[in-house]
């Protein structure tokens, strides 16, 4: 049996585009005499559709798309994800389903059993879990079809009371197929293969795992679809961050005709979040994820031009370089906005960066605007000493100028704040925290440096002077980031333990960190939630990003 995996990039709610993409893959598979083609989870509508699922018209269009696909499923079997209606009055109105189409008929509709309701997932808000589990039969093969999370519980997950494959295996399937929409983070790809291996090892059955790719606002999907034989050997691994149509041949004895590309012994069963922070971990994949995130955000929203406030520092340099790669240098404009406190080298470094990238740039000094503002504020401030008010005023002037440029030229402002700054509140609301998309808001400062070195792997893109100088906001004479924050080499590992690993203050202190330092850092994190709550979407590359996947009270207090 020739089985095709269609690893595709969908656009949420764009039923015309999604359906045409699905139909094109079916046509190509038929041209190559395919027997069965597998698409990812919720392919017809895109994942995650969230509250669009509450619109009856959205569901109607999803079902209309299934009808179009059904007409193409004549000589080939099609497994495609989409929402379906729950005929029972009890429970939620919808299922997250996999439609099995063949001979222009809907032969089976398989529903998702395990609905993730943690981190970025809130599927139980919309869907009813499957109340009936069964296999499908196609061309003499019994196939256990599951959807994404269904394979992540092997009977030992306290979140769920059932293990779908434990039920399905009783019906003696010969093959497992999983339709997935599993988002990227820098440890998830290996963890995903580990889960697949655990399933194959437990049930002694080969598995075909088809994942989606592309970005949906903040979520990035890396693809990496997998075919594993019953011996846990990898038979196929589709490219990451790339749309691909690939065929494998399942033989009569349930083995695959394709050669093994990776032996089982080299695939770990699990991939846990590292106990120790490593800023360089997965940096190549992080780079590809961010490029995908920028490109799809602009492409799917219909934007073409980006503006970056280029300060001559590492954060704006990395964002400008990523934007140039993702959108093309001709679509990126840098604005250099020096004040009387900006060092000359910051301007020349920013100029050098733009020249390296070939991006247009303009210099707009803000000293005159700043002086005008402080003059008007003088009666109110009553000759009070220079402090954070004047520092933030500079940032807000810059924010107003870059937004004016965006409005005038129809561009999107790319925010340049990093995760260390967002965590500690080291940023100005309506100033340097402005933007339509946060590119590096899920990268700690030390990860930004690691990414900069990766960008420079073949030639100098980020000037060496930017990489080597001490970080500074340059909002007052001689200012350094370390005036307000611990050294990033000390700060980032503590933030990682608190945010990614959800370790409390006592656990972090037990790892060897100074008690007063930990309490100071965690207080900064907790008291600045109100700033993050107003922030733009952040491209997610870690297992725990700020945004929809981390929901903590703004007024909460958590210290001990």
What local confidence, expressed as pLDDT, does residue 557 receive? 76
pTM for this prediction:
0.96
Contacts for 309 with CB less than 8 Å, ≥ 6 apart: 316, 334, 335, 337, 398, 402, 413, 416, 432
386: number of Cβ within 10 Å: 12
CA angle 38, 39, 41 (to 5 degrees): 125
> Which residues are annotated as catalytic?
41, 112, 148
> Is the CB of residue 43 less than 8 Å from the CB of residue 80?
yes
**Is it true that the peptide bond before 48 is cis, omega within 30 degrees of 0?**
yes
Reported as a single tens digit per residue, the pLDDT across 379-392 is 999 989 999 999 99
What local confidence, expressed as pLDDT, does residue 191 receive? 87
Regions in the chain scoring below 70 on pLDDT: 155-161, 559-560
Strand order across the 105-111 sheet: 105-111, 94-102, 77-85, 36-38, 2-7, 244-249
Residue 126: both structure tokens together:
């919309």
Reported as a single tens digit per residue, the pLDDT across 26-47 is 999 999 999 999 999 999 999 9
CA angle 246, 42, 100 (to 5 degrees): 70
**For residue 124, what are the CA distances in angstroms to 91, 114, 357, 505, 551?**
10, 9, 46, 32, 17
CA–CA gap between residue 411 and residue 309 (Å, rounded): 13
Residues forming CATH 3.40.50.620 domain(s) in the chain: 283-482+527-532
Residue 546: both structure tokens together:
């700020």
What local confidence, expressed as pLDDT, does residue 289 receive? 98
Residues forming CATH 3.60.110.10 domain(s) in the chain: 2-266
What local confidence, expressed as pLDDT, does residue 190 receive? 84
CA–CA gap between residue 560 and residue 503 (Å, rounded): 12
What local confidence, expressed as pLDDT, does residue 157 receive? 62
Residue-wise over 349-380: b if at least 16 C-beta within 10 A, else e?
Answer: bbbbbbebbebebeeeebeebbeebeeeeeee
Q: Say which CATH class 2-266 falls into.
A: alpha beta
Question: Could you tell me which CATH number the domain at 283-482+527-532 has?
Answer: 3.40.50.620
What local confidence, expressed as pLDDT, does residue 156 receive? 65
Please name every residue paired with 195 in a beta bridge, in sequence order, or none if there are none: none
């Amino acid at each position: 049996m020739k089985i095709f995996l269609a690893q595709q990039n969908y656009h949420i709610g764009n039923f015309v585009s999604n359906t045409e993409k699905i139909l094109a893959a079916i046509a190509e598979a038929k041209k190559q005499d395919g027997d069965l083609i597998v698409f990812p989870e919720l392919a017809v509508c895109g994942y995650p559709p969230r509250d669009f699922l509450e619109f009856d018209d959205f569901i109607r269009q999803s079902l209309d798309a299934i009808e179009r696909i059904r007409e193409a499923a004549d000589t080939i079997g099609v497994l495609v994800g989409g929402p379906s209606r729950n005929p029972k009055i009890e429970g939620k109105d919808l299922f997250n389903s996999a439609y099995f189409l063949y001979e222009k008929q809907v032969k089976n509709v398989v529903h998702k059993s395990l609905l993730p309701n943690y981190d970025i997932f809130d599927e139980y808000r919309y869907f009813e879990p499957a109340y009936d589990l069964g296999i499908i039969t196609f061309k003499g093969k019994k196939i256990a079809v599951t959807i994404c999370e269904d394979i992540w519980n092997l009977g030992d997950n306290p979140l769920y009371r059932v293990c779908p494959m434990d039920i399905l295996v009783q019906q003696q399937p010969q093959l497992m197929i999983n339709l997935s929409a599993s988002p990227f983070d820098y440890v998830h790809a290996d963890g995903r293969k580990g889960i697949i291996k655990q399933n194959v090892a437990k049930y002694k059955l080969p598995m075909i795992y088809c994942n989606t790719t592309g970005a949906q606002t903040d979520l990035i999907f890396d693809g990496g679809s997998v075919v594993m034989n019953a011996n846990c050997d990898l038979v196929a691994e589709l490219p990451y961050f790339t749309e691909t149509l690939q065929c494998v041949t399942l033989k009569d004895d349930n083995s695959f005709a394709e050669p093994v590309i990776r032996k089982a012994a080299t695939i770990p069963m699990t991939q846990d979040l590292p106990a120790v922070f490593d800023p360089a971990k997965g940096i190549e994949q992080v780079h590809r994820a961010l490029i995908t995130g920028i490109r799809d955000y602009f492409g799917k929203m219909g934007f073409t031009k980006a503006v970056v406030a280029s300060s001559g520092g590492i954060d704006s340099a990395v964002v400008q370089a990523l934007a140039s790669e993702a959108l093309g240098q001709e679509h990126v404009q840098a604005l250099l906005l020096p004040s009387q406190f900006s060092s000359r080298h910051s301007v020349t470094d920013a100029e050098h960066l733009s020249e390296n990238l070939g991006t247009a740039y303009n210099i707009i000094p803000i000293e005159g605007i700043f002086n005008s503002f402080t003059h008007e504020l003088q009666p109110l401030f009553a000759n009070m000493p220079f402090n954070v008010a004047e520092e933030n005023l500079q940032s807000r002037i810059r924010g107003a100028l870059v937004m004016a440029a965006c409005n005038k030229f129809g561009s999107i402002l790319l925010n340049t704040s990093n995760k260390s700054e967002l965590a500690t509140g080291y940023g100005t609301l309506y100033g340097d925290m402005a933007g339509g998309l946060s590119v590096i808001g899920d990268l700690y400062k030390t990860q930004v440096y690691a990414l900069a070195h990766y960008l420079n792997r073949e030639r100098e893109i980020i000037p060496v002077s930017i990489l080597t100088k001490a970080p500074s906001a340059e909002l007052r004479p001689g200012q350094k980031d370390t005036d307000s924050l611990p050294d990033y080499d000390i700060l980032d590992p503590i933030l990682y333990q608190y945010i990614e690993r959800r370790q409390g203050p006592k656990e972090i202190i037990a790892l060897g960190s100074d008690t007063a330092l930990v309490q100071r850092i965690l207080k900064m994190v907790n008291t600045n939630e109100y700033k993050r709550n107003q922030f733009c979407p952040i491209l997610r590359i870690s297992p725990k990003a700020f945004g929809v996947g981390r929901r903590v009270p703004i007024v909460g207090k958590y210290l001990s």
